[in-house]
Amino acid sequence: MPTSVADAPRYSLVVPIFNEEAVLPVLLRRLDTLLDSLDAPAEVIIVDDGSRDTGSIVAAARARDDSRYRYLALSRNFGHQIAITAGLDVARGEAVIIMDADLQDPPEVVLELVAKWREGYDIVCAQRVSRVGETRLKLWTAGLFYRALRLLTPVDIPAHVGDFRLVDRKAVEAFRAMPERDRFVRGMFGWMGFRHVAVPYRREARAAGRTSYGWSKMVRLALDGIVSFSDAPLRLALWLGSIVSVCSLAYGAGVLWQAVHNATYVAGWASTVVLLSLLSGVNLLMTGVVGLYVGRIHAEVKNRPLYLVGRSVGFDDREDVVRPLLRGPAAPARLGAG
């Protein structure tokens, strides 16, 4: 039976959507079955990350008709990681489950996550043992990313684990206290160090529609994961610059020795062009790496809100929903709800 809005849910499911109209009806049916199977009241928070299709209409209608559902529409597309953050900010459950809307994360696995949470774990990750419908290139690059992440960062992030996970309330509150803008959610939870465990599952192919998470977004997510939790790129730039400088000094010493001893040699453009190109490329590379970190500092100090809420349904005009959550001293301005 649907749960009254006044009842405090024990479980909160955060489901970000972006142009998921094709899969949303199937998702809602399976979520209904899941909610009926849970051992305590639960809420589903659908976070609309600026969808331009009819999925927003379907999600908002469900939130109006079923008090177990909430609909939170961001004012524009802020990105998947920010949409997850918005859902975590308004979730009230003792345990919060993050899952994607494309049904590659089967809702039925949530019951296994809950079982582990009841054993006392603070974070329960869903770990992919197989990935149906994905190309060899995608699997290879994913494996390479996780290996690089473990090599370059001190954060313990299990391999083949995405954002599909259950998080205890104390971990949610710790997450909400972290103010950074360039977010890598799985890394932020890994950094906390709470007691965690992984539950294996078989990742399905998309139930319908096409993914909006292309290669450019995946590359940016990988950069966020590495740059947010490691200064290895800066140290690499330092060592690379040092090696090139030593090589240049050695080459200069050789030229000076030849000049002192009146050695004859044929001077050519090739060596000059190669050296200039190498030094210029290394200089641009190091400047770009430093600029990447400086750009993130610039974004942080502006102290803009992570997101703005354009519309909400099913929250009973809660102040933490109808007002943007600012990460700084500025006073929030009221936004509309309905």
pTM higher than the cut 0.75: no
Question: Among 106-110, 135-139, 180-184, which is the least confidently predicted range?
Answer: 135-139
Listed in sequence order, the DSSP H helices in the chain are 24-37, 55-65, 80-90, 110-118, 136-152, 169-176, 185-192, 215-229, 232-260, 269-301, 319-322
Q: Which residue has 């790496």 as its token pair? A: 289
3-state secondary structure of 261: coil
More confident residue, 222 or 99: 99
Whether 111 has a pLDDT exceeding 90, the answer reads yes
**Could you read off the pLDDT of 24-74 as tens digits, one per residue?**
999 999 999 999 999 999 999 999 999 999 999 999 999 999 999 999 999
Name the one residue in this structure whose structure tokens are 């996550």.
113
Which 3 state secondary structure label does DSSP give 74?
strand
Residue whose structure tokens are 């990447």: 292
Antiparallel, parallel or unpaired: β 69-74 and 42-48: parallel
Three-state DSSP class for 200? strand
Of the pLDDT bands very low, low, confident and very high (cuts 50, 70, 90), residue 2 is: very low
Higher pLDDT, 183 or 169: 169
Whether 334 has a pLDDT exceeding 60, the answer reads: no
Determine contact, residues 123/195, Cβ cutoff 8 Å.
yes
181 residue type, one letter: R
| Per-residue model confidence (pLDDT) at position 140 | 67
Most confident of the following: 82-96, 174-188, 196-210, 236-250: 82-96
- Scored b (16 or more CB within 10 A) or e, 255-289 reads eeeeeeeeeeeeeeeeeeeeeeeeeeebeeebeeb
Query: Does the structure show a pLDDT above 60 at 325?
Result: no
Q: Which of 80, 167, 159 minimizes the C-alpha distance to 127?
A: 159
> Which residues, other chains included, contact 92 with Cβ-Cβ below 8 Å and sequence gap of 6+?
8, 9, 12, 43
* Structure confidence at residue 214 (pLDDT): 55
CB 34 within 8 A of CB 97: no
> Mean of the per-residue pLDDT values for the chain?
78
If 0-12 CB within 10 Å is exposed, 13-18 middle and 19+ buried, where does residue 296 land? middle
Question: Tell me, what amino acid is at 241?
Answer: G
Q: Report the alpha-carbon distance of residue 254 to residue 271 in Å, rounded.
A: 14
Q: For residue 126, is pLDDT > 70?
A: yes
**3-8: long-range contacts (C-beta < 8 A, 24 or more apart)?**
3/41, 3/42, 3/43, 3/67, 3/68, 4/67, 5/67, 5/314, 5/316, 7/41, 8/41, 8/92
